[in-house]
């Protein structure tokens, strides 16, 4: 999670403070067999479950050029956010902190016949070496960003036409709040929400368009029972020796996944024709 910079708006400070409350106790992290923040690449891979007609995909396609559009996908994962934009997008740029995610993203883009480039690293640290695009998309990333103002300003600077982000209405780790209480007697926070994010954008002077709708389907790998146990164990900092107990708990109390997401769009600030 990024560290907030100085001179934040009141809304930016409130966002950062609420995210800070999600930090796990040092004692839990110290005994965890593996990092709870690692993501399974297969769960983010492009497959036949990909939905091209989510509200977020439509919002991006509405502003893309009909021919030759360029899309920058920040925190691209395997490409599930940007592949629904091909076509009309003819070129994709992906940034991610994971080399494995970038490899999956590049493979998915190449299989669709579009030009593709990747940038390894954390946004906005890698913004200076990342080319601008017609549309910038960033899905399910912002709840990991404390310094959200610097993050979204860099997104805006890299979009000639628009930025389109997607976030759940509540923190994605809220799905595990009951499990944290059960296994660790740990209470989890309630905020922030997508409304808090919109408040930050407005404090920065943007006038975002906001839509709410159902979350798109996950990859088929994400619903595999064996992968669910593995990912749940990692997320909850539990050892494999508790898999039977974990499976029994999940059978009765599956994660309360957020069913509604917010699509948020605002104009970019990169000059027309600007390439880097």
Q: What is the CATH number of the domain that holds 199?
A: 3.40.50.150
Q: Rounded mean pLDDT of the chain? A: 92
pTM of this prediction?
0.91
List, for residues 234-269, the tens digit of each pLDDT value: 999 999 999 999 999 999 999 888 889 999 999 999
Count CB-CB contacts under 10 A for residue 11. Answer: 20
In a domain, 272, yes or no: no
In a domain, 69, yes or no: yes
What six digits make up the tokens of 268?
Answer: 């970019």
In a domain, 2, yes or no: no
In a domain, 274, yes or no: no
> Given this model, what pLDDT does residue 222 score?
60
Say how many Å lie between the first and final Cα of the chain, rounded. 27
In a domain, 259, yes or no: yes
In a domain, 3, yes or no: no
Count CB-CB contacts under 10 A for residue 184. Answer: 16
What six digits make up the tokens of 78?
Answer: 């395997």
Please give the tally of structural domains in the chain: 1
List, in sequence order, every residue forming a beta bridge with 163; answer none if it has no partner. Answer: 136, 266
List, for residues 22-60, the tens digit of each pLDDT value: 999 999 999 999 999 887 777 777 777 788 999 999 999
> Given this model, what pLDDT does residue 192 score?
97
Which structural domain range is residue 158 located in? 10-267
In a domain, 248, yes or no: yes
In a domain, 5, yes or no: no
What six digits make up the tokens of 227?
Answer: 């992968």
Count CB-CB contacts under 10 A for residue 129. Answer: 10
The candidate with the shortest Cα–Cα distance to 216, out of 96, 68, 60, is 60
């Amino acid at each position: 999670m990024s560290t907030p910079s100085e001179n934040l708006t009141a809304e930016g400070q409130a966002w950062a403070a609420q995210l800070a409350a999600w930090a796990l106790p040092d004692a839990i992290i110290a005994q965890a067999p593996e990092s709870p923040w690692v993501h399974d690449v297969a769960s983010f891979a492009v497959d036949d479950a990909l939905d091209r007609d989510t509200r977020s995909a439509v919002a991006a396609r509405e502003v893309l050029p009909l021919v030759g559009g360029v899309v920058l996908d920040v925190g691209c994962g395997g490409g599930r956010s940007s592949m629904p934009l091909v076509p009309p997008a003819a070129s994709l740029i992906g940034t991610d902190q994971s080399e494995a995610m970038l490899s999956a993203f590049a493979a998915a883009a190449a299989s669709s016949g579009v030009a593709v480039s990747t940038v390894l690293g954390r946004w906005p640290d890698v913004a200076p070496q990342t080319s601008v695009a017609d549309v910038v998309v960033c899905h399910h990333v912002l709840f990991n960003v404390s310094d959200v103002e610097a993050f979204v300003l860099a997104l805006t600077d890299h979009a000639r036409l628009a930025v389109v982000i997607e976030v759940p209405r509540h923190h994605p780790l809220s799905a595990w709040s009951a499990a944290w209480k059960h296994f660790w007697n740990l209470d989890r926070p309630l905020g922030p929400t997508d409304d808090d994010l919109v408040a930050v954008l407005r404090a920065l002077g943007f006038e975002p368009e906001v839509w709410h709708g159902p979350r798109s389907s996950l990859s088929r790998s994400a619903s595999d029972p064996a992968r669910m146990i593995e990912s749940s164990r990692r997320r909850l900092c539990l050892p494999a020796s508790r898999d039977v107990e974990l499976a029994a708990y999940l059978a009765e109390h599956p994660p309360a996944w957020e069913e509604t997401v917010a699509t948020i769009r605002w104009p970019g600030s990169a000059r027309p024709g600007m390439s880097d």
